Amino acid sequence: MILSIKNLSVNYGLIPAIRNLSMEVGQGETVALIGANGAGKTTILRAVSGLIKLASGSVVFDGQDIARLKSHLIVRRGMSHVPERRGIFANLTVYENLLMGAYIRKLLPGDLDEVYSLFPILLERKKQIAGTLSGGEQQMLAISRALLSKPKLMLLDEPSLGLAPQITKSIFSIIQKINKAGTTVLLVEQNAQAALKISHRGYVLEVGEITHTDTSEALLTNDAVRKAYLGDH
């Protein structure tokens, strides 16, 4: 297991958001964490990557307990978080945003070529101000920036948010490609269908607790999951 979360609880003030949650991500896997708006998906990713405090529990990443480590140190250990709404620097160019992604290491000549070959549009738009890109292009930029830190594990928070189905499809196929090239992926999504299609296993989150976990294939055909998350009635 590259990531092992045990008995995680997170509160906002007195209100519990995550209760005693355990989940794991194996080396090389793409794991989907699906659930409705407000279920606690973002909270889990923020807790794992050191952006918010845990009330209790442990988070072991690549053999080390990181539960109380600062987020920039977690990035250095090889975890990279693509936040909800992408977190790009809207006033900087595409190229400047990419340089930010490499801040923990020296950029090697082939590194940018690698992301430009995944997302050729970013090479074309290299000098464009990032805030003027389309939603899909901004998501591509956010993923590219995360890749430039050469992560072992990439956390993706709702990459499909606000994107047309066709754009979602193309971004998800690139996420799959990134995983096949060796990066482990934890993918948080409201779009259960799209996420389960490209993942190996999945967890279903409901108000701060895991209610189902199985292979993605099994979740896609599970009646309760289909009813609640895949638009079957």
Closer residue to ligand ADP in complex, CB, 45/115: 45
CA distances from 56 to 11, 19, 38, 47, 59 (A): 10, 9, 20, 11, 10
Residue 98 CB, shortest distance to ligand ADP, in Å, is: 26
Q: Is 33 in the site for ligand ADP (CB under 6 A)?
A: no
- 39 touches ligand ADP (CB under 6 A): yes
Closest CB to Mg ion among 84 and 214? 84
Query: Total number of residues binding ligand ADP (CB under 6 A)?
Result: 10
Q: What is the rounded distance in angstroms from the CA atom of residue 52 to the CA atom of residue 43?
A: 8
**Cα angle at 146 between 25 and 119, to 5 degrees?**
110
If one asks whether residue 166 binds ligand ADP (CB under 6 A), the answer comes out as no
* Residue 17 near ligand ADP by CB under 6 A: yes
Q: Which does 78 bind (CB under 5 to 8 A by kind): Mg ion, ligand ADP, none?
A: none
Please spell the DSSP secondary structure of 155-216, one letter per residue.
Answer: EEE-TTTT--HHHHHHHHHHHHHHHHTT-EEEEEES-HHHHHHH-SEEEEEETTEEEEEEEH
Q: Which residues bind Mg ion (CB under 5 A)?
A: 41-42, 84
Q: Which residues bind ligand ADP (CB under 6 A)?
A: 12, 17, 35, 37-43
